[in-house]
Copies of this chain bind each other. A is one copy, B any other.
Amino acid sequence: MGEKLLVVNYKNYEQVLGKKSVEMTKAIERAASEHPDVRVVVVPPAVELRMVAENTSLDVFAQHTSGHTPGSRTGEIMAESVKEAGAVGTLINHSEKRLTLAEISSAVKRAHSLGLETVVCTDTVETTGAAAALNPHFVAIEPPELIGGDISVSTARPELVSGAVDVVKKISPGVRVLCGAGVKTAEDVSKAVELGTVGVLLASGVVKARDPYRATLDILAGYE
C-alpha cells in the first residue's frame, strides 16, 4: 500500500524534441489523470524542460544534473537551472550518461542540497548496492542489454530485480527501487511491483508508441 511510481524518460527521441514534448506530456498527463493513485513523472531533455514544466501538472525530472556548483562549467546542466525551470528531481548515471562514482556521489549531494529528488540508474545487483550506499531517493536497475528491446527486465531477469530489492533493503532500507528495460505491458509492471519495486522507469514503450496516451494507460493498469 506504499508509493507507486511511473517514470517516463523522453530520452532524445524525435517524438519529444521541441514543441512536440508538450504534446507528448499532455497525452501522458491525460492517462495519468485516470490513475490518480500512481505518481507519474516525465523526464524531458534539458532544452525542453522548462516548456514541459510550464505546461503540465505532472512532476518533471531532469535527465542529468552536474555535481558541480555554478561557475565556469560550459555545457554542463546545473541543478539550480533545472530546479528554477520547474523540475523536482533528476536522473543520475543513466546508462546512456554514465558517470564516475565520485561524480554520481557529488550529483546526488548537490541535488539533495537543493531539495531535488534523485534516481540513480544502475546495471547490476552489485552496482545497485553501491548506488544505494549513496542514499538517493530511488535506484533504477536497468540491464543495458535489455534496454530498448522487447522483453522486460521483470520477465527476463526477475532475479536481478529481486536481488536489487534485497541488496537495497540491506544497505539503505529507505531507498526505493525502480526497474527498467524492455518494459511495455501492464504485466511487465505488475511483475516488477510483485518483485518489490515501487514501479518502472521506461522510455520507448510510451514515447515511441503509436498512441502514447493508450500506451501509458496500458502501463498504468499494471499498478492495480
Contact = CB atoms under 8 A, between A and B. Distances in A.
Contacts of A19: 84
B45 A101 contact: no
Contacts of A74: 9, 11-12, 63-64, 91, 94-97, 203
Given A73-B12, A84-B19, A45 B99 contact: no
A99 to B, nearest CB: 6
A48 to B, nearest CB: 6
B122 A133 contact: no
A14 B101 contact: no
Interface residues of A, number: 66
A179 interface: no
A102 B203 CA distance: 21
A50 interface: yes
A203 B70 CA distance: 14
A173 interface: no
Contacts of A131: 101, 130
Interface string A29-49: 000000000000000011111
A46 B99 CA distance: 19
Most chain-B Cβ atoms within 10 A of its Cβ — which of A102, A104, A123?
A: A102
Interface string A95-115: 111111111110001000000
A101 B122 contact: yes
A22 to B, nearest CB: 12
A213 to B, nearest CB: 21
Contacts of A85: 18, 47-48
